[in-house]
Every structure is written in structure tokens, then in C-alpha cells.
Amino acid sequence: MNRYGYACINMQLSYPQKHGGQERGVPPITTGRSMIKRTFKAKGVDYASELTLNNVKDLDRIIDWNILNGYDFFRITSGLAPWKSEYKWDDLPDIDEIRTWLYSAGVKAKTHNVRITSHPGPFNVLTSPHEHVVENCVGDLTDHGDVFDMMNLSRTPYNKINIHIGGAYGDKESAMKRFCENFDLLPDSVKSRLTVENDDRASMYSVKDLYYGVYKRIGIPIVFDYHHHKFCSGDMSEQEALEMALSTWPSDITPVVHYSESRRKEQLDETIRVQAHSDYIYDEIDTYGHDIDIMVEAKRKELAVQKYKELHMTDHYSSLPSVKAYI
């Protein structure tokens, strides 16, 4: 049986008036509180700690909502702790309370079989020939591993930390070799959870590239992205690439795939970049008979998952409780 997830933002909770049917005055529930660098310089770690604490409290509430509404697959934001590269966890005055809230969220997720994953940003480039870039990448990925450890999540790809491997620098083979060498710089909290994803440009990495250049060397599972495959196929069909990616996963862990559709097609606007994600998804996802967990990368988040189920899973779909009832 396939599960369908959404990423980072709950539209109904983040925008309670616009999408949640709420009256004015209902505060948003969001894990995206941040600040510009100037504010961080002025207010420092104390303010970063306050924002982080509020973010993790709301993460706990979003997981509550997911449980109540039948969403058992969720990607958390990479921005729980604003400007985290500038300080250590123990520098935060509220770190004990932050740990408590993260542990609470993790217990709920595990108890109710809600799969939690993350997708650090594109500046994480383990293929880079520049030492400072790799050091920054290791630091950021370590922070993601720390968050999952504080949530007491499994150190397996079930709770994956997913990245693109980075630039090709004119020589894919050498770049993939550097990635595999730099993989050894990561702590086990990251190594044990790390997955890699195929790219959306022909000059970058297809599933086939990742399979022979990364998986065969260090055994990292591959996350198949349906939309990206359209632009970087490696001369493989969708089914061939999907099944190659699925074969890299441990037999006791359900593989994850990403699915999105083109915003250009949705909006009928040829000026939109063809790789850009649509608000909703419309086509039925062909899993070729495999049981997989599908991360829906659409801009309307859980609303897109809801609409997909209404379009294609009416026999199994039941209406969501109102957000008002939750709040």
C-alpha cells in the first residue's frame, strides 16, 4: 500500500484564514520562523533560541494534526533553528526545552507510524573540490542528524536525510568519487540516514549515474524523482529508472520517491520554467505495482495530497476533519 506525504508547510495551519476557514485572529502554526542576518547580528543567540523553541513546539502540533487527519508521511523543514551554522546547540538558552519538544514530536511520530524525513538544501555539495564548501556541508548535515537524534528517530533510511550530490564540475566520474570520499567525513547520525536523488538537468546525475557512481561504491539508497527523470533520464524508461532506484533500498524499509508535475503545464504559461512544481498534481501516479512512500512535492502541500486522493482514491478517501475542530 502506498503512502502519500507532503513537505514542511501545512497550508491550513500556516494560513488559517486563507486555507483553514478560520476567523481573523487565529495564529498560524508554522515551523518556518526565521530572521535576516542583520537581525541575528542584533539579537543574537537568545532570539534564535526563542524562534527555534516556537518552531519545535509547532512541529509537535503539526504532527498532532497529521495524526488526526491521516497523514502518515511528513518532511520536516531544514530551518527549525535559524542561522544554526553560527552557533552550537548547547549555546541556545532554551536547549533543554527544545530537546523535550523534539523528543515529544518523535515519540508521537513513532507511536502513530508517521514517517519523518528531511531534505537539506542545495548548498550541501559533497562533490565540491573546495574544502570550505565540504566543511559547511558536513556541518549542516550533522545538524539534521542531530535533530533526528533528538527526536529519537531511527538511524536508518526510513527516516532519511535526502540530498542531491552536487555539481559535476565538468567531470561526473571524479565528482562522484569525491562524494564517496567525503561521505566518510559524516557522523553516523547522517551516514546511516543519507539518501541521494536524481537531478532535473541533463548535465547532472541520472538514476543510472547514481547507481553506478555512488550506490555501487558506498551503498546509499537512491530516491527516485519522477519529475526530474523527465529531464535527466540516463537513457532509461521511467519504469527502468524507478526499479533501479528501488533496488538500492534495504529490503525491510519501504522506499521513498518524489512526485511532482510541471507548473508550466498546469498554468498554461510557456514563460514558466518547465521544471517548476505545480500547485496540485493531476495524473495518476504509476508505481508499476510497487509499494512505495510518495512525497508529493506540490506547492499546495497537504491540500495537493487531499485533492489527489479525491481524484484517484475515492474508494479509500474520507473527508478530513475541519482545522477548526483541531484548533
Each domain of the chain, given as residue ranges in start order, spans: 3-259
Which grid cell sits at 178?
569525491
Taking the C-alpha atoms of residue 1 and residue 289, their distance in angstroms, rounded to an integer, is: 10
pLDDT in tens, the chain (327 residues): 899 999 999 999 999 888 867 777 789 999 999 999 999 999 999 999 999 999 999 999 999 999 999 999 999 999 999 999 999 999 999 999 999 999 999 999 999 999 999 999 989 999 999 999 999 999 999 999 999 999 999 999 999 999 999 888 989 999 999 999 999 999 999 999 999 999 999 899 999 999 999 999 999 999 999 999 999 999 999 999 999 999 999 999 999 999 999 888 878 778 888 888 889 999 999 999 999 999 999 999 999 999 999 988 876 544 444 444 444
Residue 316 DSSP SS3: coil
DSSP 150-214: HTT--SSGGG-EEE-----TT-HHHHHHHHHHHHTTS-HHHHTTEEEE--SSTTS--HHHHIIII
Residue 258 DSSP SS3: strand
CATH of the structural domain 3-259, one choice from 3.40.50.720, 3.40.1160.10, 3.40.50.1820, 3.20.20.150: 3.20.20.150
The pLDDT score that the predictor gives to residue 315 is 61
Task: Return the beta strands (E) in 49-174 as ranges.
Answer: 73-76, 115-118, 161-163
Number of DSSP helices (H) and strands (E) in the chain, helices first: 13, 8
The pLDDT score that the predictor gives to residue 109 is 97
Chain centroid to CA 95: how far? Answer: 24
Task: Count other C-beta atoms under 10 Å from residue 170's C-beta.
Answer: 8
The pLDDT score that the predictor gives to residue 79 is 94
Which residues have a Cβ under 8 Å from the Cβ of 197 and sit 6 or more positions away?
Answer: 162, 163, 164, 222, 223, 224, 225, 228, 258
